[in-house]
Amino acid sequence: MKKVLLLMLLVASSLTASAQDVIVKKDGSTILSKVIEIGTTEIKYKKWNNQNGPMYTIDKNDVQTINYENGEKETFSDVVTSQPQQGFNYNDYTSQMAESMAANNRLQKERLLASAKSWRVVGNVWYWVSFLGGIGGGIALYASGYKESTYWICAGSGVASGLIGLGICSAVANNKEKAANSIASVPLIKQDFNIGNSRLSAVIDLMNDPNTRDKALGIGLSLNF
Protein backbone atom coordinates (compact mmCIF):
# COMPACT_ATOMS: atom_id res chain seq x y z
CA MET A 1 0.00 0.00 0.00
CA LYS A 2 2.82 2.35 0.89
CA LYS A 3 4.50 1.62 -2.44
CA VAL A 4 1.28 2.47 -4.28
CA LEU A 5 0.94 5.77 -2.41
CA LEU A 6 4.59 6.63 -3.10
CA LEU A 7 4.14 5.85 -6.79
CA MET A 8 1.02 8.03 -6.95
CA LEU A 9 2.91 10.92 -5.28
CA LEU A 10 5.76 10.58 -7.78
CA VAL A 11 3.33 10.58 -10.71
CA ALA A 12 1.48 13.62 -9.33
CA SER A 13 4.78 15.41 -8.75
CA SER A 14 5.87 14.60 -12.30
CA LEU A 15 2.62 15.89 -13.76
CA THR A 16 2.85 19.07 -11.69
CA ALA A 17 6.43 19.72 -12.79
CA SER A 18 5.60 19.11 -16.42
CA ALA A 19 2.78 21.65 -16.22
CA GLN A 20 5.23 24.48 -15.62
CA ASP A 21 7.61 26.46 -17.79
CA VAL A 22 11.06 25.86 -16.36
CA ILE A 23 13.63 28.54 -17.07
CA VAL A 24 17.11 27.04 -16.77
CA LYS A 25 19.75 29.68 -16.18
CA LYS A 26 23.35 29.37 -17.27
CA ASP A 27 24.50 29.15 -13.68
CA GLY A 28 22.44 25.95 -13.31
CA SER A 29 19.59 27.38 -11.24
CA THR A 30 15.97 27.09 -12.38
CA ILE A 31 12.85 29.23 -12.20
CA LEU A 32 9.40 27.66 -12.14
CA SER A 33 7.37 30.09 -14.17
CA LYS A 34 4.76 30.93 -16.74
CA VAL A 35 6.59 32.53 -19.69
CA ILE A 36 4.61 35.52 -20.97
CA GLU A 37 6.81 37.01 -23.68
CA ILE A 38 10.22 36.48 -25.26
CA GLY A 39 11.64 39.74 -26.54
CA THR A 40 14.79 40.65 -28.38
CA THR A 41 16.98 40.93 -25.30
CA GLU A 42 14.82 39.81 -22.38
CA ILE A 43 12.21 37.29 -21.28
CA LYS A 44 9.09 38.26 -19.36
CA TYR A 45 7.51 35.76 -16.99
CA LYS A 46 5.40 35.30 -13.88
CA LYS A 47 6.20 32.99 -11.03
CA TRP A 48 4.29 29.73 -11.31
CA ASN A 49 3.01 29.86 -7.75
CA ASN A 50 1.85 33.48 -8.14
CA GLN A 51 0.56 33.94 -11.69
CA ASN A 52 -1.62 36.84 -10.63
CA GLY A 53 1.39 38.61 -9.20
CA PRO A 54 3.95 40.96 -10.73
CA MET A 55 5.71 40.52 -14.06
CA TYR A 56 9.41 39.66 -13.94
CA THR A 57 12.09 40.00 -16.60
CA ILE A 58 15.38 38.22 -17.13
CA ASP A 59 18.16 38.91 -19.59
CA LYS A 60 18.24 36.36 -22.42
CA ASN A 61 22.01 36.15 -22.06
CA ASP A 62 21.46 34.67 -18.57
CA VAL A 63 19.15 31.90 -19.85
CA GLN A 64 20.35 28.55 -21.18
CA THR A 65 17.04 26.86 -22.01
CA ILE A 66 13.30 27.00 -21.35
CA ASN A 67 11.45 23.72 -20.85
CA TYR A 68 7.82 24.48 -21.68
CA GLU A 69 4.85 22.79 -20.04
CA ASN A 70 3.93 21.08 -23.33
CA GLY A 71 7.29 19.34 -23.43
CA GLU A 72 8.98 21.64 -25.96
CA LYS A 73 12.45 22.96 -25.25
CA GLU A 74 14.03 26.19 -26.43
CA THR A 75 17.75 26.94 -26.23
CA PHE A 76 19.18 30.45 -26.26
CA SER A 77 22.50 31.79 -27.39
CA ASP A 78 24.06 35.10 -26.40
CA VAL A 79 22.35 38.15 -27.82
CA VAL A 80 24.91 40.20 -29.74
CA THR A 81 24.30 43.92 -29.38
CA SER A 82 25.78 46.31 -31.91
CA GLN A 83 28.78 48.25 -30.65
CA PRO A 84 30.20 51.42 -32.16
CA GLN A 85 33.21 50.76 -34.33
CA GLN A 86 36.43 51.72 -32.66
CA GLY A 87 38.33 54.48 -34.38
CA PHE A 88 35.37 55.48 -36.55
CA ASN A 89 32.79 58.04 -35.47
CA TYR A 90 30.01 59.45 -37.61
CA ASN A 91 28.44 62.78 -36.75
CA ASP A 92 25.42 63.91 -38.71
CA TYR A 93 24.57 67.56 -38.27
CA THR A 94 20.80 67.82 -38.60
CA SER A 95 18.86 70.50 -40.37
CA GLN A 96 18.31 72.15 -36.99
CA MET A 97 22.06 72.64 -36.66
CA ALA A 98 22.24 73.99 -40.21
CA GLU A 99 19.44 76.45 -39.43
CA SER A 100 21.27 77.56 -36.29
CA MET A 101 24.46 78.17 -38.26
CA ALA A 102 22.51 80.06 -40.90
CA ALA A 103 20.93 82.21 -38.20
CA ASN A 104 24.39 83.01 -36.81
CA ASN A 105 25.53 84.04 -40.30
CA ARG A 106 22.51 86.32 -40.70
CA LEU A 107 23.14 87.87 -37.27
CA GLN A 108 26.79 88.51 -38.09
CA LYS A 109 25.81 90.07 -41.41
CA GLU A 110 23.24 92.33 -39.73
CA ARG A 111 25.80 93.46 -37.16
CA LEU A 112 28.34 94.33 -39.86
CA LEU A 113 25.78 96.31 -41.84
CA ALA A 114 24.62 98.15 -38.71
CA SER A 115 28.22 99.01 -37.85
CA ALA A 116 28.82 100.27 -41.40
CA LYS A 117 25.75 102.51 -41.12
CA SER A 118 27.04 103.92 -37.81
CA TRP A 119 30.41 104.74 -39.35
CA ARG A 120 28.71 106.63 -42.18
CA VAL A 121 26.71 108.66 -39.66
CA VAL A 122 29.92 109.46 -37.75
CA GLY A 123 31.60 110.52 -40.98
CA ASN A 124 28.75 112.89 -41.92
CA VAL A 125 28.66 114.40 -38.43
CA TRP A 126 32.44 114.84 -38.46
CA TYR A 127 32.28 116.55 -41.86
CA TRP A 128 29.57 119.06 -40.92
CA VAL A 129 31.06 119.84 -37.52
CA SER A 130 34.48 120.50 -39.10
CA PHE A 131 32.98 122.43 -42.02
CA LEU A 132 30.77 124.67 -39.90
CA GLY A 133 33.46 125.00 -37.24
CA GLY A 134 36.02 126.14 -39.79
CA ILE A 135 33.72 128.71 -41.38
CA GLY A 136 32.43 129.92 -38.02
CA GLY A 137 35.95 130.22 -36.64
CA GLY A 138 37.11 132.11 -39.74
CA ILE A 139 34.20 134.55 -39.47
CA ALA A 140 34.96 135.13 -35.81
CA LEU A 141 38.63 135.82 -36.50
CA TYR A 142 37.79 138.14 -39.41
CA ALA A 143 35.31 140.01 -37.23
CA SER A 144 38.03 140.38 -34.60
CA GLY A 145 40.21 142.30 -37.04
CA TYR A 146 42.25 139.53 -38.59
CA LYS A 147 43.00 139.64 -42.30
CA GLU A 148 40.64 138.07 -44.80
CA SER A 149 43.27 135.44 -45.58
CA THR A 150 42.91 134.22 -41.99
CA TYR A 151 39.25 133.57 -42.65
CA TRP A 152 40.01 131.49 -45.71
CA ILE A 153 42.74 129.53 -43.96
CA CYS A 154 40.45 128.68 -41.05
CA ALA A 155 37.52 127.83 -43.28
CA GLY A 156 39.70 125.72 -45.59
CA SER A 157 41.17 123.83 -42.65
CA GLY A 158 37.69 123.00 -41.40
CA VAL A 159 36.56 121.76 -44.81
CA ALA A 160 39.74 119.71 -45.25
CA SER A 161 39.39 118.15 -41.81
CA GLY A 162 35.76 117.29 -42.55
CA LEU A 163 36.61 115.69 -45.88
CA ILE A 164 39.43 113.64 -44.36
CA GLY A 165 37.23 112.42 -41.53
CA LEU A 166 34.39 111.65 -43.96
CA GLY A 167 36.79 109.70 -46.18
CA ILE A 168 38.15 107.63 -43.29
CA CYS A 169 34.69 106.77 -41.96
CA SER A 170 33.44 105.92 -45.45
CA ALA A 171 36.40 103.59 -46.02
CA VAL A 172 35.70 101.75 -42.76
CA ALA A 173 32.00 101.51 -43.65
CA ASN A 174 32.81 100.15 -47.12
CA ASN A 175 35.06 97.43 -45.64
CA LYS A 176 32.35 96.37 -43.21
CA GLU A 177 29.73 96.23 -45.97
CA LYS A 178 32.10 94.19 -48.10
CA ALA A 179 32.64 91.75 -45.23
CA ALA A 180 28.87 91.48 -44.72
CA ASN A 181 28.24 90.75 -48.39
CA SER A 182 30.94 88.08 -48.38
CA ILE A 183 28.82 86.04 -45.96
CA ALA A 184 27.01 84.41 -48.83
CA SER A 185 26.97 80.73 -47.89
CA VAL A 186 24.57 78.93 -45.58
CA PRO A 187 25.56 75.38 -44.48
CA LEU A 188 22.79 72.87 -45.18
CA ILE A 189 24.48 69.56 -44.33
CA LYS A 190 27.80 68.78 -42.70
CA GLN A 191 29.06 65.28 -41.98
CA ASP A 192 32.34 64.41 -40.27
CA PHE A 193 34.06 61.03 -40.46
CA ASN A 194 36.76 60.52 -37.84
CA ILE A 195 39.17 57.76 -38.83
CA GLY A 196 41.95 57.44 -36.30
CA ASN A 197 43.67 60.82 -36.11
CA SER A 198 42.27 61.97 -39.47
CA ARG A 199 38.97 63.68 -40.20
CA LEU A 200 37.09 63.72 -43.49
CA SER A 201 34.43 66.43 -43.71
CA ALA A 202 31.72 66.58 -46.35
CA VAL A 203 29.61 69.74 -46.65
CA ILE A 204 26.77 71.01 -48.79
CA ASP A 205 26.28 74.79 -48.73
CA LEU A 206 23.70 77.12 -50.22
CA MET A 207 25.67 79.80 -52.07
CA ASN A 208 24.23 83.28 -52.65
CA ASP A 209 25.73 85.74 -55.13
CA PRO A 210 25.44 89.18 -53.43
CA ASN A 211 25.44 90.96 -56.80
CA THR A 212 23.11 88.88 -58.98
CA ARG A 213 21.27 87.19 -56.06
CA ASP A 214 21.63 83.86 -57.85
CA LYS A 215 21.62 80.74 -55.68
CA ALA A 216 23.53 77.49 -56.14
CA LEU A 217 24.50 74.42 -54.15
CA GLY A 218 28.16 73.99 -53.28
CA ILE A 219 29.63 70.58 -52.40
CA GLY A 220 33.02 70.25 -50.75
CA LEU A 221 35.30 67.67 -49.14
CA SER A 222 38.20 68.33 -46.78
CA LEU A 223 40.69 65.96 -45.16
CA ASN A 224 42.56 66.92 -42.01
CA PHE A 225 45.36 64.65 -40.87
> Which pLDDT belongs to residue 149?
82
> Which pLDDT belongs to residue 2?
47
pLDDT at 67 over 70: yes
Average of per-residue pLDDT across 60-84: 81
Over the stretch 39-63, which tens digit does the pLDDT of each residue have? 888 999 999 898 898 999 999 999 9
> Which pLDDT belongs to residue 1?
47
Average of per-residue pLDDT across 136-149: 83
pLDDT at 205 over 70: no
pLDDT at 138 over 60: yes
Q: Which of 125-134, 136-145, 206-215 has the lowest mean pLDDT?
A: 206-215
Q: Is the pTM of this model over 0.75?
A: no
Over the stretch 10-40, which tens digit does the pLDDT of each residue have? 444 444 444 689 999 999 899 999 999 998 8
Q: Which long-range contacts (CB under 8 A, 24 or more apart) does 167-171 make?
A: 167/123, 168/123, 169/119, 169/120, 169/122, 169/123, 169/124, 169/126, 170/119, 170/120, 170/123
> Which pLDDT belongs to residue 188?
59
> Which pLDDT belongs to residue 23?
94
Query: How many C-beta atoms surround the C-beta of residue 71 within 10 A?
Result: 7
pLDDT at 123 over 80: yes
> Which pLDDT belongs to residue 11?
44
Q: Where are the domains of the chain?
A: 30-79, 88-224
> Which pLDDT belongs to residue 199?
76
